[in-house]
Amino acid sequence: MSDKVDIIEKKVYETYFPVVGRSKPVRSVSLMIKLLRDKFKLIVPERIVAITISAFLSSRPVLYEGPPGTGKTEVGYAILSLWSGKNAFILPCSENYDEYRVIGDFHPLMAMKMGFTEESFIPRPLLAALILDTGVLVDEIRRSSEEFQNMLLDIVDKRRIVVPELKRIFKAKGDGFQVIFTSNPEDIAQNELSDAFLRRVVRVKFTYPDEDVEKEILKIRLGENYWKLSGENIAKMIASVNELRERATHKPGPADTVAWAQIAVELANLREKEKVTAEEMYDAGFSVLLKRIEDEDIVEDVLTKYFGGKR
Ligand SMILES: Nc1ncnc2c1ncn2[C@@H]1O[C@H](COP(=O)(O)OP(=O)(O)OP(=O)(O)O)[C@@H](O)[C@H]1O
Ligand SMILES: [Mg+2]
């Protein structure tokens, strides 16, 4: 096979190589933290980076668990990409996800004409990641079936993908092929993860950031716009989201805090104000933080407490 062009590899390179990019793989925790901040605008605790890298070094899959908006998806994608030096693939899970969608399937017309051959095979992201030696972020793993989860674990464990129709086994070529799963354990609408699954993964817990870190997140995400918010408003915002995390059904994550600040700044700009006032904080807050109708009174109460009367 070595001196012959591999049709599947050729297809993968043609389809996916232009989008994966290339940079030097990162192996140090401190450099990873710096690049997460500089390149991806993510403030990530040392604990999360160090555990993830340790898992990769022993080729174990990682499970990021935590409430919505705490950065699981973005952090997972960024760490995988820095680790392998190539942009990671994201597989957003759903009930009906199966091996044909992630490993590959056959072009129906071509398969009818020439059978299940390499020519009629269409490689999909998981196989592409293995061939290109880059990472895979399996997002919201609880939304997939147990069968799908077991299939993924088998691939990650053995670091190879079998395509029976082609009578082929594709093996990982380096250590860039790593997998991070994300999950929100508080979402009751989703499937439980099996014991077999939980035994194999390294679990990393995501939590709400401390006040100082959340302020840093706002600063890095808003850029110049950060200075349109007064120190007082920022402190009140952070107090508000922390109170809602205690009291509301939908608990705002840093993703919501950032969205709230961005909308407030845009509102102030549209109203031709130099600085964001309590009015924009209130209006933007109400629109961004209220996700469930049963939280309406609580959101209103918290915003009124920090940003004045009802509008
Ligand atoms: N540590 C962080 N550093 C910088 N921004 C962050 C961080 N955590 C959250 N954010 C903000 O949240 C957004 C990313 O949230 P992300 O979608 O990755 O969270 P998630 O945990 O995957 O949420 P969900 O459970 O809803 O999928 C970023 O775009 C940013 O605005
Ligand atoms: Mg996510």
The pLDDT confidence band at residue 311, using thresholds 50, 70 and 90, is low
- Round to whole Å and give the CA distance between 257 and 268: 17
Secondary-structure class of domain 7-205 per CATH: alpha beta
Q: Which ligand neighbours the alpha carbon of 72 most closely? A: 1
Q: How much of the chain, in percent, has pLDDT values that exceed 90?
A: 84
**Which of 34, 44, 64, 74 has most ligand 1 atoms within 8 Å of CB, for mutation?**
74
- Round to whole Å and give the CA distance between 303 and 309: 8
Write the Ramachandran bin of 261: left for phi over 0, alpha for psi from -120 to 50, otherwise beta: alpha
Q: What is the pLDDT of residue 189?
A: 62
Q: How far is the CA of 41 from the centre of ligand 1 (A)?
A: 11
Q: How far is the CA of 305 from the centre of ligand 2 (A)?
A: 31
Contact between residue 268 and residue 227 where contact means Cβ atoms under 8 Å apart: no
The residues lining ligand 1, judged by C-beta closer than 6 Å to any ligand atom, are 41-44, 68-74, 182, 184, 217, 221, 254-255, 258
Q: Which two tokens stand for residue 159?
A: 């670091």
Given CA atoms 276, 281, 284, 285 in this order, what sign does their dihedral have? positive
Point out the least confidently predicted range of 37-46, 146-155, 274-283, 289-298: 146-155
Q: What is the pLDDT of residues 60-113, one digit of tens each?
A: 999 999 999 999 999 999 999 999 999 999 999 888 788 888 999 999 999 999
Contact between residue 61 and residue 179 where contact means Cβ atoms under 8 Å apart: yes
Among the atoms of ligand 1, which is closest to the Cα of residue 74? 18
Q: Which ligand neighbours the alpha carbon of 185 most closely? A: 1
The pLDDT confidence band at residue 186, using thresholds 50, 70 and 90, is confident
Where along the chain do its domains lie? 7-205, 211-307
Q: What is the pLDDT of residues 192-225, one digit of tens each?
A: 888 888 999 999 999 999 999 999 999 999 999 9
